[in-house]
Structure 1
Amino acid sequence: MEKLIGHLHKGQFAASLNYERVIFSRDAEFEDLNIIESDIIRNAVRDMGIEKLYTHQAESYRHVKTGRDIIVTTPTASGKTLCYNLPVIEDIYHNRSVRALYLFPLKALGHDQQRSLENFISEIPLGGGIKTAVIDGDTDKKLRRKILKDQPNIVISNPDIMHYSMLAKREEWDSFLSGLKYLVVDELHTYRGVFGSHVYNLFARFQRLYPNVRIISCSATIGSPAEFASQLFGREFVHVSKSGAPSGRKHFLMFNPDIPAAALANYLLKVNIEAGVKTICFTKSRKQTETIFARAISSDPTYASALSSYRAGFLPEERREIERKFSEGKLKAVISTSAFELGLDIGGVDSTILVGYPGSMMSLWQRAGRSGRGVKDSLIILIAGNDALDQYYVRKPELLFSGKFEELAVDRDNTEINEGHIICAAYEKPVARDEAYYKDNAALIEKLSGEGRLFEEAGGGRLFALGRYPYGDIDLRMAGESYTLNCSKIMIATNSGRRVYTENFKGAVYLHRGSQFIVTDTDRQKREIELQPFNGNYFTVPLTEKQTSVLHERERRTDGNMRACFSDLRVTERLTGYSKISARTGEKLQDIDLEEDPVMFETKGMYFLIPPVFRQEIEAQGMNYMGAIHAFEHAVIAMLPTVVLSSRDDVGGISYPYHPQLESSAVFVYDGYPGGVGIVKRAFGRIRELLETTLNQVKFCGCEDGCPACIYSPKCGSGNYPLDKQGAVYLIKRLLEADLKEEEEEKPVIKCENSGEVLVYDIETKYSAEDVGGWNNSHKMGVSVAVVYSMNTGAFTAYREEKINELTERLASARMIVGFNNIGFDNKVLSGYGMPAFRGTFVFDMLADVRSLTGQRFSLEKLATATLNTGKSADGLMALQWYKEGRFDLIEEYCIKDVEVTKDLFLFGVNNGFIHAPVKDGSMIRIPVKWKEILASYL
């Protein structure tokens, strides 16, 4: 190891070595095996080669034996497994009726645990009677029934099985669960964010039915772990934190290269492999994982047998083969996303390379802890990338060793998530008004009863759920339904529905284990993505548009010139196309338009109101105001992980020079998940600290006009344009100051031409999709007639093509425009005339909203017939024929009728809170909508 480190000090990238530190070795602290009560188990432990227990193992053993719930947070490779296996196996050995359930977030961890358990049991005389079994998503139904019939003492599983099987099919599981004494939950830190909100509800439902279980949990090092465990389980926990395990010396090197971090990672991987140093290289994305791997084997094909990529999306058999080969030493290095961050048994590792700061201290040291098992020396290399968070720690590397770990918290107020679990709880067992579960959820339970989603017992005592299998309506990991990726009809990978929208669109380049593919088709009905091999020299980046509206304000905050609000929001996102980027130069080659339906969801977030005078000040200095607020948005999101555990992918944002609902310039930052997950809520509580950190990062970045280290975002849907670094610095400084008088804040400096109208509109085209070469060319279809209805005046106005500028100006000046498939179609047609962006107008698409609620695409004709008992007077094909005949009067009459139907359907939803839709069997369903709240914000 010393020789390798010496080489790095003298090698070609020695000048990039920014910081180094030695973490000295630590001696073990032991307790005698005599604390183990059973002679047989004590001897079995000794037979495993363990002569003494580490002090944290002994402490855990004592607490479990006295009936305490515990959480253990000692470092990686400190022997946490024995903290729960020892007391559980001892109890089962002497009382074979005892049952234990082990939960792990990943299937591979469960299989590892079974091997560890079986090794322990094999050392116990007559221990063969202790049965263990793994039940996960790969266990077929027949084998699952057989396992449960044989009644194992320990079932190893995951939260998904607890939700979709254990509680959903209690008649199959009740015999096992009724005898349950121990619930072991490992990798507790993974149950955060939206997943944590689901798991909190899941554990509440489980303990409602099986309250007498004892809980043993383990976690990576986090801030306030006992409080976090208490939030998840609603119990008090004893925290076991002081590790007695030995630790070898760790050499920590930080590089800040002037080449891409991935390129330096390739060099360091080759150096480590040639030096015989077993290595894990951690990346921050799937694409980066595959890119590093592909470049390594393309530069030297012999590395293909010594190196592998590893990430989610690989088939199970692929992952297990890589794990086995790496553990056996057949692979010298693995390039991985966070998938290897958790405690998979992969044998001793000598070095970890981190390509970029992983977003949290917890993840940094969890990853770093994968190397240096036992007392061996190890090497940790952090390669700083160009993004803001990495460069923040380049300037302040000592903070990495401060010992301050992020505090985790569970958002227990996510109404959308909580409601789904309450319905499941009532399905499992009717909810009585005198039980604790009701008292904890009374307001939501009564709301669900009032909406007809729960049904009250005739006597008024209990509430029931009558639907069939409500569990399928809940996506624990909020990943969406899984898609298969097929090449020549052979499945090569999978991806989650949430990622598919922006990763596997038609034309996207996909990397898999060193090979390139291009997406040729996406079948959302079958959830299949077709690929074909690709030899091009570019990669693809999605382009998106977003809109945000405020549904409900929860908390306001004033601090100096800063005015901020935490609110319920509605976000509309739409994939508009993608850019082809040269793999060789990084330059944009081409932008390609796409026709994709928008995605709508409700979430929680905060917005900053920007005082009008700041715009005058910024523009008076020759700076770009839109670029300033856009850069401010990017920088705040980039630095948010310094105050709240999160990653850039968890948070979204949008900047408005004028937001029609707020009647002000505003910058939004929101949780990127339906319902919200508590990230921005916690950041809102530390908002001044967040802005101060952001200001320092942008102000002291060494670039001149902005870069990924300060204001550029890899997620930006508009290609990082426009951005103004100096404008952002000026804006943040002014927000943190306290010099504005109230009348200056309220002074309407920004003149808004917004008419205040709320409009409903529709257009008819001159040409069909077939005439212009497909729906992707809708901007070429042209407008024959467009009709606008004003909710303010009640008047219809028709526009022909010669007045298209008047139409677009009126739409762009309105406060809100309402249509049916207007985002997906009408606005694309209008874009052919150079229509301006709707920066001051809220665009509402009823089709997109209904589809986001139901997952189905309904026509206006079907919805109007089901809801209003009236339909359209004709169809688009007839309107095209009338255009050819010059019958503009008939087109105008037809278009007015369409707008009237659209308006009436919208107002029905506003007034009633629902609309109707037909389903296949001829029945009508009621779709709840929140259009009243939306309209009230703009009318």
Structure 2
Amino acid sequence: MVRTGDLLDALLAGGRRADRMTHVRHLPAREGTRAPWPAWADPDVVRGYRTIGVAEPWEHQATAADAAWSGRHTVLSTSTGSGKSLAFWLPALTAARGAVAAGTLDPGRIETVSRRAGTLYLCPTKALAAGQHTALDQVLAAAGVRDVRVATCDGDTSLDERRWVQEYADLVLTNPDFLHFALLPQHRRWARLLGSLRYVVVDECHAFRGVFGAHVGLVLRRLRRIARSYGASPVFLLASATTSDPAASAARLIGVEPDEVTAVTVDASPAGRKTFVLWQPPLLPGADVPWTDLLPDEDPWATPVPPPSSATRPDAPGLPAPDDAWVVADPAFPAAPLTPPATSVPPTPSTPVGDATGRADDPAHPTSGPRGTGERVVTDPHDGPRRTATAEVADLLTDLVVVGARSLAFTRSRRAAESVASATRDHLRDVDPDLADTVSAYRGGYLPEERRALERAIRSGDLRALATTNALELGIDISGLDAVLVAGWPGTRVSLWQQAGRAGRAGADGLVALVAREDPLDTFLVHHPEAIFDAPVEATVFDTTNPYVLAPHLCAAAAELPLRSEELDMFGPSTLDLLTELVERGALRRRPSGWYWTHAEPATRLTDLRGSGGDPVRVVESVTGRLLGTVDAASADATVHDGAVYVHQGATYVVDELHLDDGVALVTRRDVDYGTWARWVTSTEIVSVDTEVAWGPVTWGFGAVDVTTQVLGYQRKRIPDLQVLGSTDLDLPARTLRTTAVWWTAPASVLETAGVAEEDAPGALHAAEHASIGLLPLLATCDRWDLGGLSTALHADTGHATVFVHDAYPGGAGFAEHGFRVGPVWLRATRDAIAACPCPSGCPACVQSPKCGNANNPLDKAAAVRLLDAVLAHAPTDDDPHATEQHPTQP
């Protein structure tokens, strides 16, 4: 292990890079607390754990294992690397041994003589299941146990292997997708396992959020129902990163009451001292003059947003109502407020802002906004183009490797992972050519055997560093790492702490650095450490009663076994009404004995758990026919189009042909000094106006929309200076998502009333769009990633400036519809959240978004508040119920 002080010195380059570190936080070490092995634990299994170095379990492991063994649904919510897997494998392996398990089964039934307790393990990714299988094999081999049969079974498993698993396996490791598409529809083939099911393990359950979480929750309800039909009532064991109220989230996921779930949240494992650094890359050479010097000296609308005089949060009078980029998207779990930073003050009417020099007349606070904005910001007053986060991380990773550190560098994209790995290897060749071979990339799209080899290499130390996407964020067991670099805000604090938890595992000290991308959100965060370290993590939000999600699962459940009236409660209070509607539409048939699926096609095809949009595109080398990897169908047009440069483990390939119908991209190995960047356009077209509401000149609408994206061409840019070498047009089909949206218009008269000039309208509308997307999860049970949006100063279908918020799923998911129903409440909350936020010019708590495709530009916080005030002036009030005219409309 390398000392943390040496690692930090390597980042700072002996002080030469000290000005890039905006904040350092030292998180104290924690002593571990052991507990004795439970008396019920199988002695051979205990011996196996002792042989691999686990003398005694940590206290939280023993507590959770005891709860599970006693038959309580249990969720263990502790930090990354705290050993959550032992807590569920100890009771599962003990039950599978048979001798102890036989005493817990019904002795009155003859079949219990040969029936052994089974366990079904579910996790979000195949890689995690493979890692758990390896760990289990290690324990069983150390224990000398040969009578427990463990198997991984997923979509890649052959039919012969699948039959063996059905007939013999005691512990089956898989994922919710396999459960939905294969196991539950063919449950009779799995009768042996389902009838003996003692435990269901749901690992990394915090990953099941939003619509995906709702789908998984309904799959688990279907599993409970089918297992019950075979006489089993399994205990659910859930493992999660630290989340807000894990007992409530776990109960909602498996479909029970919160008081039926035991939550273990006190982490008793040791933790080393962790040094957490916030980092901003330097200005590019020649960028000393601020770009804002080109703006006019006077800005007639440079008016500050005064702090509100009243509360906008009912739970905390006087405090701002932040958006879900910072706090839990659930009003039941309010988060701590954002404390205004000491380095800036919110402007007030008495604070002179935006004078002709672009500087506030306040010597105590010399930092101010760019000339012409009339706003004050905390970033460098001479801000300008900065070095990219990927280039900066490559330098930092190089220095960490040179000093002997074992590191991970998390990036936001597959391209960035390959870029960081390639640049790091190039830097290392100038220092020590042998070191270049100790760095690699790791990302989705690699073949399974490649990923397993990389995981083994980083564990063993053969590799010193991996540049990776969030594919390594979940619980793949990689211990002994010294440092983690995070290139860009990962979107949530849960993800950030998951990634940071990879550093200093097994009680060792560690170093973490969050490197800001050239994005206002990232810039804000590295200058506001309280937004990272002093705010609670997000809750896991999803809604299994959403009819758009529930309906196809009711069809799938009826196809598995006819639905009975006494079973409806497990699916929610509105199930009977939804079944009646499905019968009226001809999807199901009602009989005295229940509801039946009578169609020839599988009911499971009605839904896609992950909304992936189709089968992945295979990347194949033309000359050899070798499969290099895969690309998600949704991103294939932009990444493996004709002429695209595809990077795989540092080797560059050029795409010869993309065959969309066959799902194949043919590539040729070629060394090139450039990369390719796709150009695309996105549009939103109103297909049908199902309902429309008039607020005076403002129109609220809800209906079906087509969100269309089309790749038009690409640019070739030289690496590393990104000079444009040329452009090429492409003839690719448009991709259209038919979904539902809510929208509101702002005619010219409303913009004029708001004092929003034509050139300011895009920033005002864009800021209002971001804030409304951030606030909708407070009113509709969804996740920010379940929504999309568009704002435009003139929309062809409405004829006015328009803001759209749409569901990010085919056919809609009910969120936009709910937003339409609560329009006045939603828009007032949006306005108040922006105005109440103590930041002067926009931040992640109000108008910046972690998922903005336009790099959070343009955004105009002050103009957004004025615009929303003008729109809300026409909103209906409680004492004027006839102020709103609502009527269904046809397109």
The TM-score range, normalised by the shorter chain, is 0.7 to 0.9
Q: Would the aligned equivalents of 2:692 and 2:889 in 1 still touch at CA under 8 Å?
A: no
Which position in structure 2 is the counterpart of 1:412? 544
Of 781, 788, 805, which residue of structure 2 is paired with 1:669?
Answer: 805
Which position in structure 2 is the counterpart of 1:92? 96
Of 28, 53, 74, which residue of structure 1 is paired with 2:57?
Answer: 53
Amino acid at match of 2:215: H
Q: Does 1:145 align with 2:169?
A: no
Residue 155 of structure 1, CA deviation: 1.2
Q: Once structures 1 and 2 are overlaid, which stretch shifts more, 538-547 or 459-468?
A: 459-468
Q: Would the aligned equivalents of 2:202 and 2:238 in 1 still touch at CA under 8 Å?
A: yes
Q: Does 1:173 align with 2:187?
A: no
Amino acid at match of 1:475: D
Gaps of 5+ in 1: 704-708, 746-932
Amino acid at match of 1:154: L
Q: Would the aligned equivalents of 1:426 and 1:464 in 2 still touch at CA under 8 Å?
A: yes
- The percentage of aligned residue pairs carrying the same residue is 28
Residue 498 of structure 1, CA deviation: 1.9
Amino acid at match of 1:136: D
SS at match of 1:128: coil
Residue 396 of structure 1, CA deviation: 1.6
Deviation string 1:722-777 (CA, Å, 9 cap, x unpaired) is x755xx334212145479754999xxxxxxxxxxxxxxxxxxxxxxxxxxxxxxxx
Counterpart mapping for 1:867-906 below 5 A: none
Which position in structure 1 is the counterpart of 2:153? 135
- How has the CA–CA distance of structure 1 residues 544 and 713 changed in structure 2, closer, same or farther, with 3 Å as cutoff? farther
Counterpart mapping for 1:726-805 below 5 A: 728-735=860-867, 737=869, 741-742=873-874
Of 659, 662, 672, which residue of structure 2 is paired with 1:526?
Answer: 662
Q: Once structures 1 and 2 are overlaid, which stretch shifts more, 372-381 or 247-256?
A: 372-381
Amino acid at match of 2:251: S
SS at match of 1:342: coil
Q: Does 1:238 align with 2:375?
A: no
Q: Does 1:209 align with 2:226?
A: yes
Amino acid at match of 1:138: D
- How has the CA–CA distance of structure 1 residues 274 and 398 changed in structure 2, closer, same or farther, with 3 Å as cutoff? same
Q: Does 1:6 align with 2:143?
A: no
Q: Distance in 2 between matches of 1:503 and 1:107?
A: 24
Q: Would the aligned equivalents of 1:699 and 1:729 in 2 still touch at CA under 8 Å?
A: no
Amino acid at match of 1:574: T
SS at match of 2:456: helix
- How has the CA–CA distance of structure 1 residues 300 and 440 changed in structure 2, closer, same or farther, with 3 Å as cutoff? same
Q: Would the aligned equivalents of 1:26 and 1:248 in 2 still touch at CA under 8 Å?
A: yes
Q: Would the aligned equivalents of 1:58 and 1:83 in 2 still touch at CA under 8 Å?
A: yes
Of 652, 655, 664, which residue of structure 1 is paired with 2:788?
Answer: 652
SS at match of 2:809: coil
Amino acid at match of 1:478: G
Q: Does 1:71 align with 2:75?
A: yes
Q: Would the aligned equivalents of 1:424 and 1:465 in 2 still touch at CA under 8 Å?
A: no
Residue 532 of structure 1, CA deviation: 3.0
Deviation string 1:230-258 (CA, Å, 9 cap, x unpaired) is 22211132211001111000011111113
- TM-score, scaled relative to structure 2: 0.75
Size of the aligned set, in residue pairs, is 735
Counterpart mapping for 1:134-533 below 5 A: 134-149=152-167, 151-211=168-228, 212-236=233-257, 237-258=261-282, 259-301=387-429, 302=433, 303-402=435-534, 404-436=536-568, 441-457=575-591, 461-479=594-612, 480-488=614-622, 489-533=625-669
Residue 606 of structure 1, CA deviation: 4.4
Residue 585 of structure 1, CA deviation: 4.6
Q: Distance in 1 between matches of 2:710 and 2:503?
A: 41
Deviation string 1:62-104 (CA, Å, 9 cap, x unpaired) is 2112211011111011111111111222222223611111112
- How has the CA–CA distance of structure 1 residues 632 and 711 changed in structure 2, closer, same or farther, with 3 Å as cutoff? farther
Counterpart mapping for 1:815-826 below 5 A: none
- How has the CA–CA distance of structure 1 residues 555 and 364 changed in structure 2, closer, same or farther, with 3 Å as cutoff? farther
- How has the CA–CA distance of structure 1 residues 485 and 544 changed in structure 2, closer, same or farther, with 3 Å as cutoff? same
Q: Distance in 1 between matches of 2:701 and 2:146?
A: 58
Q: Would the aligned equivalents of 1:502 and 1:575 in 2 still touch at CA under 8 Å?
A: no
Amino acid at match of 1:329: G
Residue 621 of structure 1, CA deviation: 5.1
Q: Distance in 1 between matches of 2:35 and 2:815?
A: 41
SS at match of 2:525: helix
Residue 576 of structure 1, CA deviation: 4.8
Residue 612 of structure 1, CA deviation: 3.8
Q: Distance in 2 between matches of 1:698 and 1:587?
A: 40
Of 705, 730, 733, which residue of structure 2 is paired with 1:570?
Answer: 705
Q: Distance in 2 between matches of 1:202 and 1:743?
A: 41
Deviation string 1:146-200 (CA, Å, 9 cap, x unpaired) is 2322x22211111122122211222221121111111111010111233223212
Q: Distance in 2 between matches of 1:636 and 1:298?
A: 44
Residue 599 of structure 1, CA deviation: 3.1
Deviation string 1:588-635 (CA, Å, 9 cap, x unpaired) is 665544444333334355434436434225787573434643565468
Gaps of 5+ in 2: 102-114, 283-386, 878-885
Q: Once structures 1 and 2 are overlaid, which stretch shifts more, 444-453 or 660-669?
A: 660-669
Q: Distance in 1 between matches of 2:785 and 2:733?
A: 21
Q: Would the aligned equivalents of 1:541 and 1:580 in 2 still touch at CA under 8 Å?
A: yes
- How has the CA–CA distance of structure 1 residues 176 and 662 changed in structure 2, closer, same or farther, with 3 Å as cutoff? same
Q: Distance in 1 between matches of 2:742 and 2:757?
A: 28
SS at match of 1:394: helix
Amino acid at match of 1:486: V
Q: Would the aligned equivalents of 1:341 and 1:367 in 2 still touch at CA under 8 Å?
A: yes
Q: Would the aligned equivalents of 1:392 and 1:697 in 2 still touch at CA under 8 Å?
A: no
Q: Distance in 2 between matches of 1:541 and 1:633?
A: 25
Which position in structure 2 is the counterpart of 1:846? none
Deviation string 1:790-833 (CA, Å, 9 cap, x unpaired) is xxxxxxxxxxxxxxxxxxxxxxxxxxxxxxxxxxxxxxxxxxxx
Q: Distance in 1 between matches of 2:688 and 2:8?
A: 56
Amino acid at match of 2:579: I
SS at match of 1:505: coil
Counterpart mapping for 1:636-647 below 5 A: none
Residue 511 of structure 1, CA deviation: 2.6
Q: Would the aligned equivalents of 1:550 and 1:567 in 2 still touch at CA under 8 Å?
A: no
Q: Distance in 2 between matches of 1:634 and 1:60?
A: 41
Amino acid at match of 1:143: E
SS at match of 2:35: strand
Q: Once structures 1 and 2 are overlaid, which stretch shifts more, 498-507 or 374-383?
A: 498-507
Which position in structure 2 is the counterpart of 1:580? 715
Q: Would the aligned equivalents of 2:680 and 2:713 in 1 still touch at CA under 8 Å?
A: yes
Q: Distance in 1 between matches of 2:448 and 2:621?
A: 17
Which position in structure 2 is the counterpart of 1:912? none
- How has the CA–CA distance of structure 1 residues 104 and 732 changed in structure 2, closer, same or farther, with 3 Å as cutoff? same
Counterpart mapping for 1:86-125 below 5 A: 86-93=90-97, 94-95=100-101, 97-124=116-143
Which position in structure 1 is the counterpart of 2:313? none
Q: Distance in 2 between matches of 1:607 and 1:55?
A: 52
- How has the CA–CA distance of structure 1 residues 175 and 39 changed in structure 2, closer, same or farther, with 3 Å as cutoff? closer
- How has the CA–CA distance of structure 1 residues 614 and 518 changed in structure 2, closer, same or farther, with 3 Å as cutoff? farther
- How has the CA–CA distance of structure 1 residues 180 and 532 changed in structure 2, closer, same or farther, with 3 Å as cutoff? same
Residue 569 of structure 1, CA deviation: 4.0
- Choose 1 or 2 for highest CA Rg: 1
SS at match of 2:237: strand
The alignment yields a C-alpha RMSD, in angstroms, of 3.8
Amino acid at match of 1:578: G
SS at match of 1:58: helix
Q: Would the aligned equivalents of 2:484 and 2:499 in 1 still touch at CA under 8 Å?
A: yes
Q: Distance in 1 between matches of 2:646 and 2:628?
A: 12
- How has the CA–CA distance of structure 1 residues 629 and 662 changed in structure 2, closer, same or farther, with 3 Å as cutoff? same
Amino acid at match of 1:75: S
Q: Would the aligned equivalents of 2:274 and 2:512 in 1 still touch at CA under 8 Å?
A: yes
Which position in structure 2 is the counterpart of 1:549? 686
Q: Would the aligned equivalents of 2:767 and 2:861 in 1 still touch at CA under 8 Å?
A: no
Q: Distance in 2 between matches of 1:593 and 1:124?
A: 62
